[in-house]
Chain A
Amino acid sequence: MLDNQVKNELIQIIGKDRYLDRPEELACYAYDAFLVESEPEAVIFPETTKEVSDILKTASKFKIPVTGRGAGTSVCGAPVPIKHGIVLCFSKMDKIIEVNTRDRYIIVQPGVVNADVQKALAPFKFFYPPDPASMSTSTIGGNIAQNAGGPRCLKYGVTIDYVLGMEVVLASGDIIRFGSKNVKDVTGYKLSSLFCGSEGTLGIITEAILKVLPMPETVKTLMVTFDDLDNTAKAVTDIIGSGIIPVAMELMDNLTLNAIEDVANLGLDRNAAGSLIIEIDGVKEACEKEMKQIIDKVRKNGAIHVQEATSDLEREKLWTARRSAYGVFAKLAPDIISEDVTVPVSKVPLMIRKIIEITDKYGLKVGVLAHAGDGNMHPMIPADRANKEEWKKVETAFSEIFQAAAELDGTLSGEHGIGLAKSAYLPLVMNKNTIEFMKKIKQAIDPDSILNPGKFV
């Protein structure tokens, strides 16, 4: 519980209805989709930038930790208030301020749900490309803080590629605005790159100008199965290597396909060793030509079954299968740990072999799932945290997977972020000076380290 003086000051700003601190309520803000839990001392729901600024002024004065939260769908513990203090929950600061498809942008408050951005753009036949699996629930503020990706980021890029401008409240309570409504803007430092992916450690996002794109004329989706996982991976590098850039190339192994089929009953091939969902979009004629080339490539790599979705319903079914993967894995054991190591696409087959080799060594089950076209792997290990011996193996296996990715010129995280999950592994991909440099930036903006303390910096 916060000190009464602090509490009173905060209630002065926000009113008592948007201030929670009873134990039953605090317990609900201790977690995200990651494993570690830690309760805040208060939860505050701001609705305006001014409120956020005033809250941070108070927090600064009393040196109270402040951790931002959207919908709490992060899978790395980013919004978990590990040092307690205040959780600033943005779910009620959720207005769409302007939709302007003529100038190709949308301005939103941080609590707007990704899917609601899509809904607002759909009537104009526009869309916002970043599509994390949590898009039905996750908020833009969280998406930006984590620099979220998703399947179609293979072609379209991740969140940072769509942030034109932002309003951010600093730890001091000062409000800064940078970027603009212009697609081209090279005025000053590219500050959006600093805050996007900062995981709430540098400032609190209170507004964002996002770039939006017109919806493609045609979308084509293909489901391909293989009787060999290595061939599945080789097909991916072959297609990307030939210059075709699909929207998405989702790889699922046998365990993943079966886990999904057990729950969702979608008619997936239970015997396939590997499968790819490949989606392309664009002008109809170009799509048809590319589709032929892709089918040719997968056949050359030993595809045993190739099926094109013939209707929106069929297409939706394939994506439902893919999107449910994380959840169905959660069913296999009391806990699930999934990471997002990423390697250059030519190294995907090697990385998959490594993942299997490592998990085999420790006798662990693994589901291999990947946004394979951009080398973004999602090995998922179902296990039981209560089983200390097994859990130790899981931790060791993951540290070896991170090590393996680093050796293949890969990186720790393709889209989830670092949070609590991977901060210990930063030295694998960053030298000491670089980590020091990040610390210096943090020190300069947030000298008392009140913003999401205890995380990677």
Chain B
Amino acid sequence: MTKEMLQNCGKCGLCLNACPVYKLLKEEQASPRAKLQLIKAYDNNTLASSALLKEIVSKCLMCGSCTANCPSGIDHYSKFMEMRKKMVEDQGETPAIKSLIYLLAREYRIKFGANLARAGQKILPDSFAENYKLGNIPLNNFPTLNTTPFRKASDTIILPDKKQVGTVLYFTGCATNYLYDDTGFATIGILKHMGYKIIIPEDQTCCSIPLLFHGAADKAFKNITTNINAFKNHDVDAVLVDCSTCGEALKNEYPRLIENQGQNPFDTKKIASKVMDILSFIDQHFDRLEFDSTLVEKLSVTYHAPCHTKNNFGAHIIAENLIKKLPFLTYKRTPDFDECCGGGGTFFYEYPDVSKKMVDKKIENAKAVRATYWLTDCPVCRMNLAGNLNNNDNLQVLHPVTIIHSALKQI
């Protein structure tokens, strides 16, 4: 089965320069084409499992740029996920990644972990934080955790500020729930302002992408079922995500995995058909926004297009156009606005050297356009970009919704 699936890579090499890791390392083994070759060799038993094989196939941001640029339409994503699973089975996983998976596999554990971490933050001496790094990010540059998880702090059903025009479900993702509640509150604020009733199902949990990327498909499956059950019984206009990676999971991975498990994909596909990233949704209903007319001074912003926004939703152009349309912003594009920042889920932690070079180039270009805000719609990109800025860089990284929300006319 796997053999047939893999044979149709024509090895044309067009994925090489689409791949952020290849572009940086300039070594064939970093390329998507090479990974497919190695997977084929492993499946045909001509190449044995090894720690190096695991490293080569895992040194990948799972950004999807290869697939987006593949003329043969190869699904690298699924092939890489399957191979990562095999490699974890053969070679084991590092303790840090293991505990991440353990944590994300159950919502109560995520909560517990967040509580512990919050306590940790309070007692961590500054001298310690300044000297230590997690991956490429200095510890004291990590975001502080939400004092209360976003979903606990907000209601499950939120009514609009004006006459209701529709209903939406909001999949908040772990990052908004535990790290960046400003994104969550801004999203709600905008949707209320637009006239939407918002439902935030209580039972939702991690989308499972981190689990799938690290070969924990069985654990992922439990989360997936939980999420589908939490979302399936609502009749809504859209299922909104503020993180395009979660969106990719709901839209593409869930239906595929459910079908692979031989289960009825009806509910999953219904949900998938309604999944939309928040920026595309705002753009589609742009005429429902009323801005505060007293804002006179324009804010200058630049934008970093997350890979999953670009490759899975094609929405980076929509996001950029939306930002350009906002009357209170001056948009300054960087030449590499749609290139990967090197965050890649846990990539920044596992391959800090590679990641650091990628993010430093982004930062250099972003500083050169002299913007005040650096907008990006992915929490890992945000953490990675913000985490690598210096205090005196005078650049603040935000989700675009936060800045949009702050400029809305008060009703």
Contacts and interface: CB of A to CB of B under 8 A. Distances in A.
A31 B37 contact: yes
B273 interface: no
Interface string B1-38: 00010011111111011100000001111010010011
B10 A327 contact: yes
A31 B4 CA distance: 19
B13 A28 contact: no
Interface stretch (B50-58, B282-290, B362-370): B50-58
Interface string B48-79: 00101100100000000000001111000000
B38 A27 contact: yes
A65 interface: no
Contacts of A92: 26-27
A134 B26 contact: no
A155 B14 CA distance: 25
A31 B52 CA distance: 20
Interface in A61-111: 71-73, 89, 91-92, 94, 111
B311 to A, nearest CB: 16
A183 interface: no
B295 interface: no
A168 to B, nearest CB: 22
Contact of B12 (A27, A115, A327, A334): A327
B41 interface: yes
A327 B67 CA distance: 12
Contact of A31 (B11, B26, B71, B73): B11
Contacts, number: 102
Contacts of A89: 27-28
B9 A330 contact: yes
Contacts of A136: 14, 17-18
B47 interface: yes
Given A24-B52, A89-B28, A73 B13 contact: yes
Given A24-B56, A136-B17, A72 B72 contact: no
Nearest to B55: A24
A387 to B, nearest CB: 12
Nearest to B73: A263
Contacts of B50: 24
Contacts of B7: 334-335
A334 B4 contact: yes
A28 B28 contact: yes
Contacts of A113: 17
A326 interface: yes
B26 A27 contact: no
Given A28-B37, A326-B10, A111 B26 contact: yes
Given A27-B37, A327-B70, A71 B8 contact: no
A331 B37 contact: no
Given A31-B37, A113-B17, A324-B71, A330 B10 contact: yes
Given A24-B50, A33-B10, A115 B70 contact: no
A348 B27 CA distance: 41
Most buried by B among A24, A29, A330: A24
B9 A28 contact: no
Contacts of B53: 24
Nearest to A32: B11
A72 B28 contact: yes
A298 interface: no
Contact of A33 (B11, B26, B31, B70): B11
A64 B71 CA distance: 37
A264 to B, nearest CB: 8
A33 B13 contact: yes
A313 to B, nearest CB: 12
Contacts of B14: 134, 136-137, 327
A436 interface: no
Nearest to B70: A327
A146 B330 CA distance: 48
Interface string A5-39: 00000000000000010111101111111000000
Given A28-B29, A111-B26, A326 B12 contact: yes
Interface string A414-441: 0000000000000000000000000000
Contact of B72 (A24, A134, A330): A330
A45 interface: yes
B26 A25 contact: no
Given A27-B38, A27-B41, A71 B16 contact: yes
A20 B11 CA distance: 21
Contacts of A24: 29, 38, 47, 50, 52-53, 56
B71 A328 contact: yes
A53 interface: no
Contact of A137 (B13, B29, B38): B13
A401 interface: no
A22 B12 contact: no
B70 A134 contact: no
Nearest to B51: A24
Contacts of A328: 71-73
Contact of A330 (B38, B47, B71): B71
Nearest to B69: A136
Interface in A100-146: 111, 113, 115, 134, 136-138
B375 to A, nearest CB: 25
B29 A134 contact: no
Given A138-B13, A331-B72, A91 B38 contact: no
A74 to B, nearest CB: 9
A334 B11 CA distance: 12
A138 B16 CA distance: 9
A94 B12 CA distance: 21
B13 A71 contact: yes
Nearest to B10: A330
A337 to B, nearest CB: 10
A336 interface: yes
A25 B12 CA distance: 19
Given A328-B71, A330-B71, A330-B72, A28 B34 contact: yes
A137 B37 CA distance: 18
A285 to B, nearest CB: 35
A428 to B, nearest CB: 26
B84 to A, nearest CB: 15
A73 B12 contact: yes
Nearest to A23: B47
A29 B4 CA distance: 22
Most buried by A among B14, B18, B26, B38: B14
Contacts of B37: 27-28, 30-31
B28 A137 contact: no
A329 B34 CA distance: 20
Contacts of B9: 330
Nearest to A325: B71
Nearest to A22: B52
A249 B340 CA distance: 36
A31 B41 CA distance: 13
28 contacts: A23-B47, A24-B29, A24-B50, A24-B52, A27-B41, A28-B28, A28-B29, A28-B38, A29-B28, A31-B37, A33-B11, A33-B13, A45-B27, A72-B28, A73-B16, A89-B27, A89-B28, A91-B27, A94-B26, A134-B13, A138-B13, A263-B72, A327-B10, A327-B70, A327-B72, A330-B8, A331-B72, A331-B73
The 10 closest A-B pairs by CB, nearest first: A327-B71, A330-B10, A334-B7, A73-B13, A28-B34, A91-B26, A324-B71, A28-B29, A28-B28, A330-B72
Given A45-B27, A326-B10, 15 more contacts: A25-B52, A27-B37, A28-B31, A28-B38, A30-B37, A89-B27, A91-B27, A92-B26, A136-B17, A138-B13, A263-B72, A263-B73, A327-B12, A327-B71, A329-B10
